[in-house]
Structures are given as structure tokens and as C-alpha cells.
Amino acid sequence: MLTPLRRRSAGARTLTTSLALAASLALAAAPVAAAQSTTQTDGTVAVGSLGSMAGTPLPASGSLGALAQPAYADYVALGDSYAAFGDQSELADGATAQACGRSVTNYANLLDPNPAVGELTDATCGGAQIPDLTESQRSGVPPQLDALDSTTDLVTLSIGGNDVGFGTIVGCITKQGPFATVPNCQTAIGTTIAADIAETFGEGGEIDDVYAAIADRAPGATVVATRYLPLMPAEGGSCTFTNQLNPADVQWARGVAEAINDAVDAAARRNGHVSVLPTSDVDRSACAPADQRWTDFLGGAPTNAAAFHPTALGQQAMADAIAAAI
């Protein structure tokens, strides 16, 4: 039996969750135009939960489609809502899947039909933190690592965003709850968020325990970590939604998102694995047109994504990036 992974205080977790919910509800009621425009000038794509990036585009078809039989017969998807969600009007069957908000358009389910991928076990769950990999997240939701065994040969992993305070970041930049009057988020929570990133993803930190636990359960598995898809447009880009925010907070959030994604990548490499992140030569942030965006600020129609989460199009891009990596 595995030693439970380290859990932060319940109070910190509740604050993060409640802030994310409050931000989503308040912003859903805000007078933001449904058709968002962008003034992006450099052609790069926003990335991370709240940031920007540029990189080498990956082929849309991935690299597995030409194989005649599964190269990976037993695939398990682990992670948080960035792995679980997609088009939330199309949830997977089953009480646990419904409770976790698993969409049939998340990247695991979009990767599964690839002829090189065999049976999928989707253990992802909205709101998951690192300890939920070895402990039950809530009633009816088993520890995610219970899905692994010695036959598992492919694992995807999206975890850590909630541990470092994604909801707190969203709550601060949108001035919700206790952050309603803070002048800027870097001063208010910057030091805390930076420390949480180091504690979660730094060498010897919580994520190293995760990789060790996966290796214990599934020693022969290929593990692919997924970095966090875009919300904010790259430097120089904006839309009606971002124009409501403090420009200093937007700039800070981009830096935080880059730090998170860099830390995800460094941790994966340090543990002998890879991380992936799709890129594009056009804007795919939540400021992009609805039929092009990889994430959505407000959620709902027309993308049917959850607020501040990937769209089905973004999940397809991530599935293609995983296919290209393996």
C-alpha cells in the first residue's frame, strides 16, 4: 500500500475552490461581449492556466495513427479538471464520471480511438490535488492511482495546478472575495504562489513523490505530463474580458503561468519522462474567436466548456500533442 501523498491544509484547499467558484459565477454575470476580439501582434499563443508562450507546432495527426496495433494496450489518464473537462454538455457515463465532470471530449477520450492506444481508464477528476492520487477525493471517487497496475503501459498526468493555487490566482486577478480591494496580485500573493510552485514541483517536492508512486504501481509505463493550456493572450493581445482586469495583474499572471509550465516540464524531465504543450501560429487563448479558442473565460455556449477551462478544441490539440510525443 502506498504512503498517502502530502496534503496541504483543508483551509487552503477550501479557499482555492471557493474563490474559483466565486470568480466563475461573478464573471459569468459580468457584461462581457460573447464575441471576443484580440489585438495580438506577435503570432504566439497564450499558455498555462494564465499565461503566454511560443514554441514548435506539433502535427495535428500525431505520430501513432500509422501503427496497425496498439503500441500501448493499457492507458490510464490521471489528473485534474484540465484533463477531465472539455465540452461539459457531453459528460461520460457513470456516477463517478459525472461527479468528476469527465467529458467524453477530454484529451484522454480523444486520444483513445487512436489505433496505437488500447483500453482507456479515465481516472481524472475536476478539483483534484496531488493527495487525491493516493486518497479518495470524496465519497464515490477512489484514489486515482488505484487505476494503475503492472500492465499499465501509458499514463498521462495533469496535476499540480490546484496545489499551487489556480483558483486563488483567478480570484485575485478578478478581485473576488478577500481580494476585492487588493491593488495588485503580485504584492498580495506573489510570494506565496512562488513558494507553492517550488514546494510542489521543485526537486524533492510533491510531484517527485507522484512520479515515484506511479513507478511503483506501473513500473513499465510511459508517462506524459501535460502542461496547462492558454487562457490569457500573449503580450500585446487583449479582448473585452482582459480589458476589465488590472494590466499589472495580467502581466503577473502570465509570468506565473510560465513558471508553472516550466516547473511541470522540469519535473517531468527530472524523473525521466516528457511533458507536452500544443502550440499554434494563431491565437488560441480564451480571447480568440469561439471556434478557434483552446480555453474559455466564461464557459457555456457556444463552446460548452467550463469557465476558465479547456474547450473540446483545446483538448483535441492536447491529444494530438500527446500522440506526437509517444
What is the set of active-site residues? 81, 309
Q: How far is C-alpha 315 from the chain's CA centre?
A: 10
Beta strand 154-158 with 222-226 is: parallel
Sign of CA dihedral 232, 233, 239, 243: positive
Alpha carbon distance 277, 255 (integer Å): 17
- Grid coordinates in use for 284? 488560441
CA dihedral 221, 160, 277, 186 (to 10 degrees): -160
First-to-last alpha carbon distance for the chain, in angstroms, is: 30
| Closest C-alpha among 118, 139, 114, 143 to residue 128 | 143
| Closest C-alpha among 324, 322, 264 to residue 120 | 322
Whole-angstrom CA distances from 238 to 45, 129, 245, 304, 315 are 12, 31, 10, 22, 23
Residue holding cell 506539433? 58
Bridge partners (DSSP) of residue 77 are: 122, 156
